[in-house]
Amino acid sequence: MSMSPEQAEIDVKDLYGDPSRFLISDLCRILEDYMNVEQVRDVYQAYLFGAQAHEGQFRQTGEPYIYHPIAVARILAEMHMDSKSICAAILHDVIEDTPVTKKMVADKFGNDVAELVDGVSKLTELKFKNKKEQQAINIQKVLMAMARDIRVILIKLADRLHNMRTLGIMRIEKRRRIAQETLDIYVPLARRLGVNTLRLELEDLGFRAIYPMRYRILEHTMQQQAGHRKEIIQKIDNGLTTRLADLGIKGGVSARRKHPYSLYKKMREKSLPYQSIFDVYGMRVLVDSVDNCYRVLGAVHNLFKPIPGKFKDYIAIPKENGYQSLHTVLFGPHAIPIEVQIRTKQMNDF
């Protein structure tokens, strides 16, 4: 699969002019931001191979099957995964669903890509007879043990995410079963690997599929509240940013909104009404050291009055899962409570 960079560049650009290949064109544009020309060309070759293998196959949505693996590859591309992972994502169903063999993949794309594709196929084949069997065997540990390369798990998570995005076409019983499996198995896997972008979307999609009415009510309420909180959050943001500069602390301040599933889970676990949740909207401050976390905490409490009993020091005493951060709730402008989380960048990547 070698050719001159000049020829590869021409081929990649030529594919943009073909309207029938807009999905792979869009993917290649993303890849060009962090891959060289030959790597992008390899991905395009994987697309041609996969499209031929899946020719005549369609999803339940009625779309050509190749749309799905391209979408999975795009999810991973947005995470800046390497070219072999992207190739494997495009080919992840060829061994399971087409006459293509592992050897054929290896001959065309190399052993690394073949191993990744085969690994995803083996995870897909893993079945448990019933829920008791799932509970008896720690399926998360089984999956991690089976995947000798962590990229296999990441491809599988991206595969599940795209399947969840297109879940609406299925019967309601199957939709709920897949959604529950996602919350029970794939969400904890994503949390364990620290891929929070995937985890949060998987959680919300699972919640929406199982409890559509509860999801809609929460989402509507949160959107209504967002309008009232926008000005207040901006004032706190400006105050914190100025104070960080005054203290000579390098850090970033950002607003954040709790995701619907996370909010629903907190309301259920603590038996709290929506009005009693103070961290639906809040601020997050990222700094470069633990010492600066506490310095920022002092500055925050000088800017706005803290609500008594709402301070949590998860740096000194981390949560059971290892999570670390300082949490405090302030009386913001107009006495509206706003949570502020303060942590290091390393803690945020947890």
Q: How far is CA 37 from CA 24, 60, 89, 187, in A?
A: 15, 35, 19, 35
For residue 96, which of 77, 120, 71 has the smallest C-alpha distance? 120
Cα distance between residue 229 and residue 245, in whole Å:
24
> Is 219 an active-site residue?
no
Q: Which residue has the tokens 């029938």?
A: 20
> Is 96 an active-site residue?
yes
| Catalytic residue from among 97, 149, 201, 237 | 97
Q: How far is CA 48 from CA 53, 113, 151, 239, in A?
A: 9, 15, 22, 53
User: How many whole angstroms from its chain centre is CA 250?
Assistant: 27
Instruction: Give one word for 271, left, alpha or beta, with left for phi > 0 and alpha for psi -120 to 50.
Output: left
| Catalytic residue from among 96, 112, 149, 237 | 96
First-last CA distance in the chain: 38
Q: What are the residue numbers of the active site?
A: 96-97
